[in-house]
Amino acid sequence: MTYLENSKQYTGTDLENIFFRPILTGQSAKELGVRVLYNMPHNAHVQLWNGQRNILQKFTSAGWSGSTAPTRTEKAIDMKRVKAELGFSAADYFSMVYEKISSIVDVNMEDLSGTILEQAETELFRQALAENIRATMWAGDSSADDGYNTFDGFLKLVQDGATSGSIEDFTYSEENLAQNSYVTEIFDRLWNSADPRIRDLKADGQLAYFVSSDLCYLYEKYLDEKGVDAAYIDSVNGRPQLAYHGIPVIDVRMDSYLAETSLHQSFALLTDRRNLVMAVNTADMPGNEVRMWYNPDEMENRQRAVFMAGCLLLDEKLIGYAYKQ
């Protein structure tokens, strides 16, 4: 049996350019659906400025008659140092990497070495890490004894805000969901009770309903009930993107992660995508690295990543929240 025994380590610019940047910038960051800050200084500070000020004045005479300075609010993202670790039996690891490489065209399968091998190993770990970052971004709870407890995710922050009263919220019951159309009542109530600034932000194209999978399913069933040809076609072919009155409806796909947590299982969240911020830092802390190596004593291939991450709600008043009791 052939084993992969060459160790690999990414630090500095290699850590950033080869490993993390592909999953946290560009299209990958867009797919996360929120604002991603990569390699902001530790701890990352975000400035909020009050831009809705009336700066137009009647012209009377020369001289300065400007108003006071704009209101600034500064928030710091509480970034935590975390590590991700994976271990595989040497035989299983070789099989997974071999399968990964075999899907690449024009590869000499008799010579599994060099850049192609490194890319395949890196991609395997990168996929697992990207999904765990996404899961913790939503379902993270640092107060939990186990599970995704490295840092608080958006749902924990929103739930705490709703409990404290800083986030406008309301509840619904299982009985309410007996009718598919009730999901539109949730969307309407979130919209109608939202801070006026949220409604003003619709023109920017960044508003979104972030919903649990059960509400997403109900909304699709509601659309299927429409007696038009388009509804039939969509029920057969599926809908690549849901929207309600022009605002995207995004399934956060967290059912399997939330089942064992104290967080709300069914929910809907209306906000601007830019209001949900996730920050990842791989540069400022000594010891941040990605390492892959073979342990001959255990006949095991191991992978480890050390970095910093955290989430922040920029403005809690720009969030509307509904959840099932």
pLDDT in tens, 226-251: 877 777 787 777 788 899 999 999 99
* pLDDT in the model for residue 113: 54
Q: Residue ranges of the chain with pLDDT lower than 70? A: 1, 41-44, 47-53, 61-62, 65-72, 104-114
Q: What is the pLDDT of residue 292?
A: 92
Q: What is the pLDDT of residues 45-94, one digit of tens each?
A: 776 666 656 777 777 766 776 666 666 677 888 889 999 999 999 999 88
Q: Which pTM was predicted?
A: 0.85
CA-wise closest residue to 249 among 288, 217, 225, 292: 217
The whole-angstrom separation of Cα 240 and Cα 205 is 18
CA dist., res. 320 & res. 211, Å (int): 12
Q: What is the pLDDT of residues 206-215, one digit of tens each?
A: 999 999 999 9
Q: Is residue 130 within 8 Å of residue 282, measured between CB atoms? A: no
Query: How far is the C-alpha of 174 from the C-alpha of 169, rounded, in Å?
Result: 17
Output the pLDDT for position 67. Answer: 63
Domains of the chain, by residue range, sit at 8-48+72-324
| Alpha helix segments (H runs only) across 33-113 | 90-102
